[in-house]
Amino acid sequence: MKTKELELKDHVIVCGYGIVGEKIVDSLKEYNIDFIVIEFDENKAEKLKKYGYNYINGDATKSKNLKDANIKNAKAIAVVMDDEAKNLFAILTARDLNKNIFIATRTNDVILRDKFVEAGANYVIMPQKIASKEIIEEILQDNVS
């Protein structure tokens, strides 16, 4: 674990530093928003260390890691791991630890979207649905012209 002695407040916790997590972190840096990443993969954690980011090398479904990320004082959490079951469990755990935190996540499964909301997610995006809708709109627009 590498943190600034966790005096973070009103920060964002990012669970997972895959493709989506990396883009979220890039945006948080751009807007000068404090954040901490919880990443299980040691190679990705080394990358976070190299960049000088606050991170915890661990499992985001574990209460201890969310507490170490100072979830009590966080304003939001982005749950974007590559495992839907882990995302659901992280949402449940995060909501249990902080009733007021804003929880954002993603899924490509309509049934899981409803489960994520039931578990406490405030915002669930469905990237494949959005992408397919935009592609169809472009195809239809191009064929109409």
Q: What is the residue extent of each domain of the chain?
A: 12-144
The reported pLDDT for the residue numbered 133 is 83
Q: Which CATH class is domain 12-144?
A: alpha beta
Tell me the average pLDDT across 11-35. Answer: 97
Report pLDDT digits (tens) over 41-53.
999 999 999 999 9
Given a cut of 60, whether residue 3 has pLDDT beyond it is no
Distance CA 38, CA 91 (A): 13
Q: CA 132 → CA 3, 109, 112, 113, 126, distances in Å?
A: 39, 14, 19, 17, 10
Strands 12-15 and 55-57: unpaired
Contacts of 39 by beta carbon, 8 Å cutoff, 6+ apart: 16, 17, 21, 45, 48, 55, 56, 57, 58
**pLDDT tier, 108 (very low <50, low <70, confident <90, very high otherwise):** confident
Tell me the average pLDDT across 62-68. Answer: 98
Given a cut of 90, whether residue 2 has pLDDT beyond it is no
- Give the strand order in the sheet containing 55-57: 55-57, 35-39, 12-15, 76-79, 102-106, 123-125
Given a cut of 90, whether residue 27 has pLDDT beyond it is yes
The reported pLDDT for the residue numbered 5 is 47
Paired strand residues for 79: 15, 105
C-beta of residue 87 within 8 angstroms of C-beta of residue 80: yes
pTM, to two decimals: 0.88
C-beta of residue 39 within 8 angstroms of C-beta of residue 54: no
The reported pLDDT for the residue numbered 129 is 80
- If you average pLDDT over every residue of the chain, what do you get? 92
